[in-house]
A = this chain, B = another copy of it.
């Protein structure tokens, strides 16, 4: 297998884009990535999108977006794994270059969520429709069950949950592409509207429009064109039961652990090697459990871990320097690509006020539903 590197990246600002359509958002992000890569040639294109069908009534977006980007005739693939669609698109593009089938691949993610009357119901299509959503379960409710169980078993507190949002808003305030660029206090998070106890409004990621794109090429090509070279060294994917009630232990996210293990194994790395990490904080509790599953802290101890500042910029393992899904926003199909872009920026030393010092190895973890699918990538600065 050939080594694969990142040669360009671009994203739209994440926010409610009332004047842009799905295709507009994609084209903006893709053109930025093409400009950044300084190569107009694209051999093949992947787009991760959870549900353009339910959000805007449009399927078949592979050729549609290629056409609007001016890439008519290029092979295109649309990939869906709910909120993990973006990272899965990246993995497939990685594989296409690693296999030698193509040289220059655009991998992207997009979601236009605000044109839909009822995005919460559309999002529920990522749960088990027949056995969860039909009976009224929505994602805030399902993650609240997980949070309750974690509090009960490990003594995780409401304050520790809320601390995730405080940290991520602090980081988001330094990110010009974030939906919410302002800090919030612990009190504000705790006193915000209760969505599903213990999850308050400020512990739930928002409805967002946005797109993100990356251009992947063989590593040799990046070395010729860029000073600071980043390669993808690990890619892991795993699945779990789609329904939360089918799991042995709802305080664990098995697909995250397995995807992490597979990525670590492929890269030949351990948790201690990771300098910076983006994780899928769709709800505050998700970040806590993911940090445990990826091996950064022992099972059950994530609450104390974040409270002690370990996951802040400057801490032992900075998590969600971008602001995470909470503050940066969560256009579901785009989030997995945007996470990788944040890590890429950190590794090339281009993360501005959010820069983690001496970041040389980074990780991005994306997941769908209540963790029925998860994708983990490890990226490293190449010599």
Contact = CB atoms under 8 A, between A and B. Distances in A.
Interface stretch (A78-86, A174-182, A224-232): A78-86
A60 B373 contact: yes
B76 A126 contact: no
A75 B88 CA distance: 10
A372 B64 contact: yes
Interface stretch (A93-101, A284-292, A321-329, A339-347): A93-101
A322 B32 CA distance: 46
A265 to B, nearest CB: 13
Contacts of A96: 95
A361 interface: no
B372 A60 contact: yes
A63 interface: yes
A240 interface: yes
A73 B368 contact: no
A128 interface: yes
A52 to B, nearest CB: 8
Interface string A126-150: 1111100100000000000000000
A328 to B, nearest CB: 22
Most buried by B among A1, A56, A62: A62
Nearest to A124: B57
Given A128-B64, A239-B66, A53 B56 contact: no
A260 to B, nearest CB: 13
A279 interface: no
A59 B63 contact: no
Contacts of A53: 51, 53-54, 122, 125
B1 A101 contact: yes
